Amino acid sequence: MKKTILITGASRGIGAAIARHLAVFDGSPSRLILNCNTDTEGLATVIDEIGSAVPDCQIVPMICDLSDAEARSAAFARAVEASGGHTPHILINNAGIADIGLLQDLSSDRLMAILTTNLAAALDLARLCIPGMIRRMHDTEANANCAILNISSVWGQVGASCEVAYSAAKGGLNAMTRALAKELAPSSIPVNAIACGLIDTRMNRLLSPEELADVIDQIPAGRMATADEVAKTVELILSAPAYLTGQVIGFDGGWI
C-alpha cells in the first residue's frame, strides 16, 4: 500500500537522505510530499534522483517558509490536493535553522524565525495531519501505520552556549514529542524524536576545521555521523511496533 509521507526540509542533508530512503517504504513505492523554502534547485535534484531510482514514487513539492503560518497552511493544503487528496500517513518534522552567537546579539526577527521554524511549524503540521491519521487508523484502511517523527538535537536535551534559541526550540520539540505521544497512543499513532549529535551537514560545516576537530574529540565514536545514517535510523523507528512511542532517541555516537 502506498504511504503518503511529508518530510520538511527535504532539499538537502538529513531531509534529502530521509526522502531517498523512504521512496520505498513498507514494501511499496511511497507518495512523498517534500518541503523546502528557498533551495528549490536542491529539491529538484532530490526529486530527479528519486524519480530515476523509484519511478513509481509519486513526489509532490511543498514550497514555503515554514516560519510563516499562513504560507505553511496554504502550502500544506495545496500539497494534499496535488497528491490526490491524500493526507500524510507519516509526518517527519526535519526542517531546522540555527545561529551561533550570544542570545543578546540575536535580532527579535531571527529569534522568532528560529522558534517558529524548529518548533511552531512542527506543532502546526502535526495539528494539520492528525485528523487524517486518526481517520485512517479508525476506518478500515489496512496497514495504515501512521506516525510522527521529529528530528531533534542533543542541544534540546542539554542545551548549548551560543545556541540558546535553537536549544530552546529543540527542547520544546522533545516535550512536544512526549506529550503528543500520550494523546495519540490510544489511536496507535506513535510519536518519537531522534536527538541528533554532530551530523555531517551544511549547517555543521559552518564550523571551522579546528572547531569541528574539537567537537569530534569529545565524541566516543570519534567522528561525525552521516545524513544517510540518520535516515536509516528513521526507517528503523518507523518500522517498529507502535508501542515504541514518546521516546527521544539519542543518535550521537555516545557523546551526551
Q: What's the rounded Cα separation, in Å, for the pair 157 and 170?
A: 8
Average model confidence (pLDDT) across the chain = 95
The answer as to whether 256 is a domain residue is: no
| 140 assigned to some structural domain | yes
All cell numbers assigned to 7: 518530510
At 144 the pLDDT is 72
130, 180, 244 from 239: Cα distances, Å: 19, 19, 10
Q: Does position 25 have pLDDT exceeding 90, yes or no? A: yes
What CATH number does residue 235 fall under? 3.40.50.720
Question: Which is catalytic among the residues 25, 76, 155, 166?
Answer: 166
What pTM was estimated for this model as a whole?
0.96
Residue 6 has pLDDT above 70, yes or no: yes
Asked whether residue 140 carries a pLDDT value surpassing 70, the answer given is no
Residue 72 is assigned to a structural domain of this protein: yes
pLDDT-above-90 percentage for the chain: 91
The pLDDT value recorded for residue 142 is 56
Q: What is the pLDDT of residues 226-237, one digit of tens each?
A: 999 999 999 999
Nearest to 199 by CA among 236, 169, 232, 245: 232
Whether 193 maps to a domain, the answer reads yes
Per-residue pLDDT tens digits for 64-92? 999 999 999 999 999 999 999 999 999 99
Question: Which cell numbers hold the place of 221?
Answer: 565514536
**H/E element, 14:** helix 13-22
Position 75 in a domain: yes
* Number of domains observed in the structure of the chain: 1
Which residue segment(s) compose the domain that 220 sits in? Answer: 4-251
In a domain, 221, yes or no: yes
Q: Tell me if residue 243 is catalytic.
A: no
Distances (CA, A) of 168 to 42, 98, 157, 173: 29, 11, 9, 9
**96-127 tens-digit pLDDT:** 999 999 999 999 999 999 999 999 999 999 99
